[in-house]
Amino acid sequence: MKLTPEQEEEIAAERGASRPTRRATVPALEEILYEVMPVLDHGFVRVVDYMGDDGAIVQAARVSYGRGTRRVSEDRGLINYLMRHRHTTPFEMCEIKYHVKLPIFVARQWIRHRTANVNEYSARYSILDNEFYIPAPENLAAQASVNRQGRGDVLEGEAARHVLDLLRDDAERAYAGYAELLNEDETGAPRDPSWPGLARELARMNLSLNFYTQWYWKTDLHNLLHFLSLRADPHAQYEIRAYAEAMLDTVRRWVPLAHAAFLEYRMNAALISASGLVVVHRMLAGETVDQAASGLSPREWRELMAMLGRSE
């Protein structure tokens, strides 16, 4: 993980400053505010701003339900109720902003979540660093034979070494070509005075998707939890899941009651189809049900049995 000197100075200045405020603050999140949390080999996530806390969620809900009492146990019960019944608007009262450094291919997955404000590093204006993602050997896997967008067995031995060498050699060659096309030294002057170099917006074309980019990403808590429900899931691609898991820990610090409700009613819960629920009722009634008699497809049957902790 590499920060520019300017970023390090900015972080030191922000963490060294103290600002009096009347708004709600969260000590556990303040502890890590602006700090870099490493992700992958050169990436990071850091919280740079936030608004609201668990109290903002219940405050918004009580506009509808009445103020009532303000004991923590009742706040917890209300947040659990909101999460359980998918009353999402109160969670939108909290917002958070992250600074993220991530490989371009992860960014292209991430940007599909169109419920945030995003400002990305401009390679038309600035020069990208010579930093690219190389998977750790344990994350280097073959294509899955069943899941067309997943990984299968981990590569080992010579096959793994060959793939890693190929990834590294291609990235190094691509950056060397990028630098040659730019034809700029550290001051911006041409390295080769015989030609002006290519425009930055064109020179970036040959860089591979494992090079790192950066952005600021701001969203509300409801949409952040939706993002995390998909990207922190065990079925998500490892690289984006690594970022989601780091962000999930910031949610734990920021809104602990909402975080606990999210784990209880979303991340560690299960969604069963109407047909699947009928199968469960039949099994509870003592009936022996197999896939052929269930009315479920083989894949949904396997998923239901895994959900129930039963072998097929």
Helix 54-65 vs helix 72-84: crossing angle, to nearest 10: 80
Q: Is 231 a catalytic residue?
A: yes
Burial of 16 (0-12, 13-18, 19+ CB in 10 A): exposed
Amino acid at the residue 77? G
Tokens of 164: 């890693």
Q: Torsion over CA of 118, 123, 126 and 128, rounded to 10 degrees? A: 100
How far apart, in whole angstroms, are the C-alpha atoms of residue 162 and residue 156? Answer: 10
Dihedral angle over CA of 270, 273, 275, 276, nearest 10: -10
Q: Looking up tokens 């009722």, which residue turns up?
A: 281
Return left, alpha or beta for 68; rule: phi > 0 is left, psi -120 to 50 is alpha, else beta.
Answer: left
Cα separation of 19 and 31, whole Å? 14
CA 87/CA 89 separation, integer angstroms: 6
First to last CA, the chain: 45
DSSP H/E element including 217? strand 212-220
The single residue of 231, 241, 266, 282 carrying the catalytic annotation is 231
Instruction: Please give the positions annotated as active site.
Output: 231
